[in-house]
Structure 1
Amino acid sequence: MNDNAARPVKVDIWSDIACPWCFIGKRRFESALQDFDGEVEVEFHSFELAPDTPVDFEGSEVDFLAHHKGMDAGQVEQMLTQMTALAADEGLSYDFEALRHTKTLLAHQALHFAKEHGKQIELKERLLSAYFEQGRHVGRVDELVALGAEVGLDADALREALESGRHADDVEADIAQARAYGISGVPFFVFDGRLGVSGAQAPETFRQVLDRAVAEASA
Structure 2
Amino acid sequence: MKIEIWSDFVCPFCYIGKANLFQALAELNIDNAEIVWRSFELDPTYPANERHNHYQLLQDKYQLDLQAAIDKCAQLAHIGSSCGLNMNFETAYYGNTFLAQQLQQYATTLSSATATQINEALFQASFEQGRDLHQIDTLVDIAQEQGLDADAVRTALSTNAFATQVRVDETAAQELNVSGVPFFGFDGRLAVAGAQSIDAFKEVIQHILHHDASDDAKMLRH
TM-score when normalising by structure 2: 0.89
Contact 1:110–1:162 (CA under 8 A) maintained in structure 2: yes
2:191 to 196, 203, 213: 196
1: CA distance, partners of 2:195 / 2:20: 7
Cα deviation for residue 10 of structure 1 reads: 0.3
How far apart are residue 218 of structure 1 and its match? Answer: 9.1
Alpha-carbon spacing, 1:218–1:37, altered in 2? closer, same or farther (3 Å) = farther
Match of 1:202, as an amino acid? S
1:72-151 alignment, distance < 5 Å? 72-118=65-111, 119-151=114-146
Q: What amino acid is the match of 1:148?
A: A
Alignment partners' CA distance in 1, 2:131 and 2:106: 20
CA contact (8 A) 2:189 2:213 kept: no
Corresponding residue for residue 33 of structure 2: 40
CA distance in 1, matches of 2:161, 2:126: 23
Deviations 1:103-155 (A, max 9, x none): 00000000000000111100000000111011111111011011111112111
Q: Could you tell me which residue of structure 1 aligns to residue 201 of structure 2?
A: 206
Q: CA RMSD in A?
A: 1.7
SS at match of 1:34: helix
Contact kept? 2:103, 2:157, Cα under 8 Å: yes
Matches of 2:213 and 2:43, distance apart in 1 = 40
Q: 1:215 to 1:143 in 2, by over 3 A?
A: same
Structure 2 CA distance, aligned partners of 1:21 and 1:145? 25
- The reply on whether 1:66 has 2:59 as its aligned counterpart is yes
**Kept in 2: contact 1:56–1:101 (CA 8 A):** no
Equivalenced residue count is 211
> 1:166, 1:69 → 2: CA distance?
36
State yes or no: 1:26 paired with 2:18: yes
Equivalent position to 1:184, from 168, 176, 179: 179
SS of the counterpart of 2:55?
Answer: helix
Corresponding letter in the other structure for 1:214: L
Report the secondary structure of 1:190's partner residue.
strand
1:162 matched to 2:157? The reply is yes
Deviation at residue 191 of structure 1 after TM alignment: 0.2
- Tell me by how many angstroms 1:168 deviates: 0.7
Could you say what secondary structure the match of 1:109 adopts? Answer: helix
Give the secondary structure class of the aligned counterpart of 2:27: coil
- Partner letter of residue 165 of structure 2? D
Aligned to 2:94, what secondary structure does the other structure show?
coil
Q: Which runs of 5+ in 1 are unaligned?
A: 1-8
Q: What is the Cα deviation at residue 205 of structure 1?
A: 1.2
Give the Cα separation in 2 of the matches to 1:172 and 1:157.
21
- Give the Cα separation in 2 of the matches to 1:19 and 1:212: 28
Is contact 2:100–2:134 with CA below 8 Å preserved after alignment?
Answer: yes
Identity %, equivalent residues: 35
Distance in 2 separating the partners of 1:121 and 1:20: 17
Runs of 4+ deviating beyond 4 Å: none
Change (3 A) 1:165 1:115: same
What TM-score results when the alignment is normalised by the length of structure 1?
Answer: 0.90
